[in-house]
Structure 1
Amino acid sequence: MVRAGCIAALLLSAFPASADVPLVNEGKPEAVIVIADKPTRVARYAAEELVRHVEKASGVKLEVRAEGEAVTPLHPIYVGDSRAVREAGIQVETLAAEAFVLRVSDDAMFIVGQDGGGEPLESATSAGTLWGVYEWLDRDLHVRWLWPGELGTHVPKVSGVVAKSCDETIAPRFFQRRLRAGSGFASEHPALGFTTEAAKQFSEEQSVYLRRHRMGRSCPVSYGHAFTDWWEKDGKAHPEWFQLLESGKRGPNKKGGRFSMCVSNLELQREIVARWTAKRPADAATPGFINACENDILGLCTCEECRALDGAAPADYLKFYPPTSKMTGSRFVSDRYARFWLGIQQQAPAGATVIGYAYFNYFQAPTSGIKLNPNVLIGYCPSAGWFPRSDEEHAWMKQQWADWRATGARLFMRTNHLLDGYCMPFIFTHQFADEFHHAVEKGMVATDYDSLTGHWATQGPNLYTAARLHVRAKATADEVLAEYYAAFGVAAVAVKNYFNYWENYTTQSREKIGQTMEALQASRWRSWAKAAHVLYPLECFTPAEKLLGQALAAAGNDAEAAARVKFLQLGLEHARLCARVSARLTLAGSTAGKEEIKRAVDELIAFRRTHERSGIGNFNHLAWVEDLSWKLSEETRQAPDLYP
């Protein structure tokens, strides 16, 4: 029996030194995975992921051993911290949060990261070792995770597996990487959504997918609309903390209404710091973040002190907002909010970071020349700017980011644009990637996209690009899309033609989308299904069906490629069905009777029940949108497991 203290010496001396390390050769294992006797849950899961993907590539299942077990002279792959790792000079405690060492040399491989003690799939769990496994799978096995589930996991087949020589320490580019999972959508008509078990499967597979694209964070951070309950708690004692309306009243204009704060009030700023300090653990290891994000409403305070802080409105202040926008007629208030955040930050303990949103009538950067600093962190949260954009609007949106960055504040992406498009083949990949690249160039430190609605079979290029750029931030849209299409094998060109058709269709529909949403009073993120039949009339699906037919023919005997094309076909069939039902049931003018409503809904639900385990889309999200968009039968209020 050979114990852990001698493992490194024994295994490293078993083979002559070489640059690359063979792991599988001609169907036989050449390596063994070594983990600590008591590994973290992250390290154990990372080892399992490594085994799973190597086996999928080569057909060979590598063995996982604890370092205290007897060993044989195979190349060791050390996964996670262990005594042997420390003997090799890798000190995990010195690594930055979520960082990892990837070292391949001297006939051994080390994948060792800074790991937390939580569950591997929890976004708050530091998972450096897991990121190291995914980095190696990405580099040397060219694994691509197109969408959640087995079919979306592309692992090229190989006869041998070799780990290429390297020695790097790598940390995520952004301290938070977040695509909100979209698993919390709930509807008054749940029968339109998933059954209970299907919802669980969809959520679990998507959680795995998000971690494979390294979604997580390096430090605890919490924010959001910060003052939603303050009026109820403090309105009587401190009405001066709240917005002053033109009527002379403080607080909301009606009972239960939304309200903004009187951000010029210095006592309010002190109270925010005091409450944060009172809740802060005495042994907190990091300076921390103070949530100062305004409520989900425009900045509306009319008091003289707030108005005195305002800068001049930019000439293009309202240029890209529709006439029915909440922004119409609003006052430009970015300077008062910049001073609000700065005032809080200056009163806070050294190193603390104040978080605010660039939102509504404080979305454009201040014009008074105020300078902020890196301890002010701003979420870029436009209330317009939906894709596709005109070239002028796209340039304007990017300029707003650049102007906020010029104040000296740090910025993170906090847009709602991925909520757009319902389940239609609504493709805007190139503009999305261009905005992402611009943000990276101008200092983006984190992301928080709201939300991942998960319509993988119709919006795959958008979603893959959004995930992939978090790992390969400088990759062009075409480079990322080339990875995606390559997974369709000999059908790659035909699939590219298919999605090019839809991206061109989406781009050319820009004005029509805006006009239709205005005319039908439909929301881009909340009631899109009111307009689906207008924006995607049945005739637009015919060329797309033909293109996917060509892709399936091109796939030929490649079963995996054919299955992926059929996945896209299923998504297209579902989108076409939804557009047809939209025409019958839309709240924007439907005259459908009770029986017609029932027939249309039954047809849709039957399709979803048949295919709810396919992973083509998030049916719970669709039920939520449709609830706000269509006339629906009372029968659909039943639990999904009971209907039809």
Structure 2
Amino acid sequence: MIKTIFAHRYLRRLIPAILLAAATAAQAAGTAGLEIVKDGKANAVIVTPKRANKTVTYAAQELVYHVQKATGVTLPVQTEGSGQSTGTRIYLGDTEAARAAGLDGQKLAAETFVLRTASNALYIVGKDANEKPLDQAQPFGSFNTSAGTLFGVYEWMDRDLGVRWLWPGELGTYVPKTRTVVVQPVDETISPRFFQRNVRPGLEYKFGHSALGFTPRAAEEYGREQTVFLRRYRMGRNQPMSYRHAFTDWWEKYGKDHPEWFQLVNGKRGPINPGDRYAMCVSNVELQKKIVELWKERGGDKSQGLLSFINAVENDYLGSCECEHCRAWDGPQPPDRDKYYAPNFKVYGTHFMSDRYARFALEIQKLAAKENPNAAVIGYVYFNYFQAPTSDIKLNSNVILGFCPSAGWYPRTDDEHQWYKDQWDGWKKTGARVFVRHNYFLDGYSMPFIVAHQFADDFQYQAKGGMFGTDFDSLTGQWSTQGPTLYLLMRLHTHPEAPVDKLLAEYYSGFGPAAEQVKAYFDFWEKYTMDNRQLITDVFYDRVAIRWRTWAKAAHRVFPENCFAAGEELLAKAEAAAKNDPESAARVAFLRTGLTHAKLCSKVAALLTQADPQSTPERGKAALEELLRFRRAHEREWFSNLSHSAWVEDISWKLSNETKQEPEYYP
């Protein structure tokens, strides 16, 4: 008995020492990294669970594709337990080996993953849903499927393969060539920085002149490539949430019985004219109760653990109710409320209502919290309720606000840029959670309109200031002319603190020996854009053009034909530098296609713009036919989302009588 007790005590002391020695040995073995491809030969196998879900299956495909692109080697994929293999193993998802190593992806938070190396293995284990990882929810194209293992694969490829996704498609996928791939030692658990990461895909623009856009088959293929591209940048969100302008059909539903829920303007409730847009009487308690009642009917009061979202986003219309109760909620009118708004802008001179709408969101949240403490109200700060409140109103973290500037298009002056930062700070001080809901990426049409550094400064300031998420409207897909800005838009979602020029250097590295010349090319266009801020402002004011919708009315004024020569010369230098590197040369040619396209668009704009009374469909017929031939010849290069360009052109140009001129788009 004594000997047995002694033996047990000895083992209890010895086992920790054995485990420590094993861990030390494993760590020492992994110090130099794990070779998964060595001298052009596979030295590893990818192992998936016996019942791999759709996310893990796709993650394995992505891993095989990128390693093959880097090395020419196709890593074998096998189901756990289906065969014997030696060498390194890359375990993806919920394998038995991962569980034996103490890794359980289903216990992680949504979209979270673990990267861990052992003596002969790399584990990539995430929180995964068994749904298609590329499925997007409508209407805004958000990814709702938790794809932690897939995100882990992308993180590893970013770190150890040096993969850079420059734009959608094969040519835009840059992977440095190598004969040996080494997994560096790692043991990290990583979650997305932001609750939501969304760039609306811009694939459903409506326009009358279909010949201007993609052909149907090309549109489908482009959409598929862009969807893959967006997922590679880990677009998604921690849980589904739905919001849009919430009350667009309420007058039809409730106006007869409850006119008091709607705006009071000039003594009348509801739309000023039949069919007009309208705002709500947000101080009305019964309106607030109805919003909460509808949320309860959808089961919002029964959610457990997760946030339960209530959509309280005002209609796409100025706040306008003049009733005494709403006016009583307003804070002091800020003296600078019109300082950065053009006199012809609809917000200019209107009554300031930010405190009113902040309180509207808070009252709804307080009502709903009685039913469910996780109730979270979503609203916008927009139009004449965009500027920060002036009454020191205090909100809370279950009030979620989309920061949607109605003006402030890039490029900005320094003081204007600071003013918009001040508004962000003012809303953050209320205690609400704030997400970016910009429309700025609808700007620029097909032109080489580059605002990379100013945009990045904005994004990084907001990220540092507690940004809850993003929802950018929308991706216009001008990859060949606005590449650096779009690259930052994507890359900052995963590396928000990284030095901007370091991120841009990644983009330029994709052009190989022409990297320096391509940088000079885009530096030229960024300087051109920033230096012409006043011209852009004046032209759009003069032409009564809209930055997000009728850019093609003014494109030739901002980018006249004679401005393109300098860019063409700089591209010629890049072409010369890349001539002995076929892949880099093809990427420079991609930029050349975009510049030629922009020049053709400017030419047509000068002849067909609706801003010119002399324009007729016949006047620009030859130039338009030249543009269309060019688009048909190059559409599958994905240099531009041609359907977005067509959407802008359809109400910017005087086209043939067969073209339907749609009214201003109302989402």
TM-score (norm 1): 0.95
The alpha carbon displacement at 1:112 in A equals: 0.9
Give, in angstroms, the shift of residue 634 of structure 1. 3.7
User: Which residue pairs with 1:387 in the alignment?
Assistant: 410
Q: 2:503 matched to 1:480?
A: yes
Residue 572 (1) aligns with residue 592 (2): no
* Cα distance per residue 1:305-355 (max 9 Å; x no partner): 000110111111110000001112200011111111100010112121111
- 2:195 alignment partner, one of 162, 175, 180: 175
Query: How far apart are the structure 1 equivalents of 2:383 and 2:301?
Result: 36
* Equivalence map 1:30-49=2 (5 Å): 30-49=43-62
What residue in structure 2 maps to residue 6 of structure 1?
A: none
Question: Could you say which residue in structure 1 is the equivalent of 2:474?
Answer: 451
1:162 aligns with 2:182: yes
In structure 1, what is the equivalent of residue 391 of structure 2?
368
Distance 1:235 1:472 in 2: 48
Deviation at 1:84, TM superposition (A): 1.7
Given that 2:295 and 2:301 are in contact with CA atoms closer than 8 Å, whether structure 1 keeps it comes out as no
* 1:276 corresponding residue in structure 2: 295
Specify the code of the residue in structure 1 equivalent to 2:173.
T
- The residue aligned with 1:526 is 549
Contact 1:224 1:291 (C-alpha < 8 Å) held by counterparts:
yes
Deviation at 1:126, TM superposition (A): 0.8
Task: Please list the CA deviations of residues 527-574 of structure 1 after superposition, one character each: whole Å capped at 9, or x if unmatched.
Answer: 000000111011100000000000110113011111110000000000
The offset of 1:594, in angstroms, is 4.2
Shift of 1:287: 3.4
- The aligned runs of 1:199-238 (5 Å cut-off) are 199-238=219-258
**Structure 1 pair 397–594 and aligned structure 2 pair: CA distance change class (3 A):** closer
- TM-superposed deviation, 1:106: 1.4
Equivalent runs, 1:242-641 vs 2, <5 Å: 242-246=262-266, 248-280=267-299, 284-285=303-304, 286-348=306-368, 349-634=372-657
What amino acid maps onto 1:188 in structure 2?
G
Distance 2:406 2:31 in 1: 56
Q: Is the 8 A contact 1:20 1:107 kept in 2?
A: no
Unpaired stretches in structure 2, ≥5 consecutive residues: 1-21, 136-142, 662-667
CA contact (8 A) 1:18 1:106 kept: no
Which amino acid counterpart does residue 411 of structure 2 have in structure 1?
A: P
Ranges in structure 1 where 5+ consecutive residues have no aligned partner? 1-8, 639-644
Q: 192, 211, 229: which is aligned to 1:191?
A: 211
Deviation (angstroms), 1:603:
1.4
1:392 partner letter: D
User: Partners in 1 of 2:414 and 2:566 — Cα distance?
Assistant: 27
Match of 1:25 among 38, 49, 72: 38
Partner of 1:81: 94
Instruction: Tell me how far apart the structure 2 counterparts of residues 137 and 590 of structure 1 sit (CA, whole Å).
Output: 55
After TM superposition, the structure 1 = structure 2 runs for residues 103-142 of structure 1, keeping only pairs within 5 Å, are 103-122=116-135, 123-142=143-162
Deviation at 1:83, TM superposition (A): 1.6
The one-letter amino acid of 2:548's match is W
The alignment partner of 2:219 has SS state of helix
Give the deviation of 1:74 after TM superposition.
Answer: 2.2
1:591 is displaced (CA, Å) by 2.2
Q: CA deviation at 1:283?
A: 5.9
SS of residue paired to 1:162: strand
Q: Is the 8 A contact 1:20 1:105 kept in 2?
A: no
Query: Does the Cα contact within 8 Å between 2:127 and 2:149 map onto a contact in 1?
Result: yes
What is the rounded CA distance, in whole Å, between the counterparts of 1:373 and 1:16 in structure 2? 50
Q: Do the aligned partners of 1:583 and 1:590 also contact (CA within 8 Å) in 2?
A: no
C-alpha distance in structure 2 between counterparts of 1:409 and 1:283, whole Å: 23
Q: Per the alignment, in what secondary structure is the counterpart of residue 481 of structure 2?
A: helix
Deviates more, 1:163-172 or 1:553-562: 553-562
- For 1:374 and 1:283, the matched residues in 2 are separated by 20
Distance in 2 between the 1:109 and 1:83 partners?
A: 14
Cα distance in 2 between the residues matched to 1:171 and 1:388: 33
Q: Which amino acid letter does the alignment assign opposite residue 368 of structure 1?
A: S
Output the CA distance in 2 between the equivalents of 1:210 and 1:106.
Answer: 34
How far apart, in 1, do the equivalents of 2:598 and 2:573 lie?
19
Partner of 2:3: none
Matched-pair contact (CA < 8 Å) for 1:19–1:104: no
Supply the AA of the counterpart residue of 2:599: R
C-alpha separation in 1, matches of 2:617 and 2:97: 71
- Alpha-carbon deviations, 1:409-464, whole Å to 9, x = none? 01000000000010000000001000001101110010000000000000001111
* 1:348-383 C-alpha deviation (Å, 9 max, x unpaired): 121211111010000011111110110101100010
* TM-score in terms of structure 2 length: 0.92
Q: Larger deviation: 281-290 or 528-537? A: 281-290
Partners of 2:40 and 2:72 within 8 A in 1: yes
Distance 1:594 1:380 in 2: 41
| Per-residue deviation, 1:293 | 0.6
Aligned residues: 626
- SS across alignment from 1:497: helix
User: Which residue identity is paired with 1:267?
Assistant: E
Alpha-carbon separation, structure 1, partners of 2:312 and 2:428: 18
Choose from 39, 53, 70 the match for 2:66.
53
Correspondence for 2:166: 146
Provide Cα deviations, 1:474-513, integer angstroms capped at 9, x if missing partner: 0122111111011111111110110010000000110111
Deviating more after overlay: 282-291 vs 524-533: 282-291
- Secondary structure of the residue that 1:456 maps to in structure 2? coil
Give percent identity, aligned residues only: 56
1:489 alignment partner AA: G
Higher mean C-alpha deviation, range 468-477 or range 576-585:
468-477
Structure-2 separation of matches of 1:523 and 1:363: 19
Residue 50 of structure 1: SS of its match in structure 2? helix
Of 80-89 and 608-617, more deviation after overlay is shown by 80-89
CA contact (8 A) 2:480 2:594 kept: yes
| Structure 1 residue 42, shift from structure 2 partner | 0.5
Letter in 2 for 1:184: E
Q: Could you report, residue by residue, the CA deviation over 1:104-134 in whole angstroms, capped at 9, with x for unpaired residues?
A: 1211000110011211112111110010000
Deviation for aligned residue 1:201: 1.0
> Relative contact order, CA 8 A, sep 6+: which one is greater?
1
SS in 1 for 2:278: coil
Q: Is the 8 A contact 2:301 2:375 kept in 1?
A: no
Per-residue deviation, 1:590: 4.9
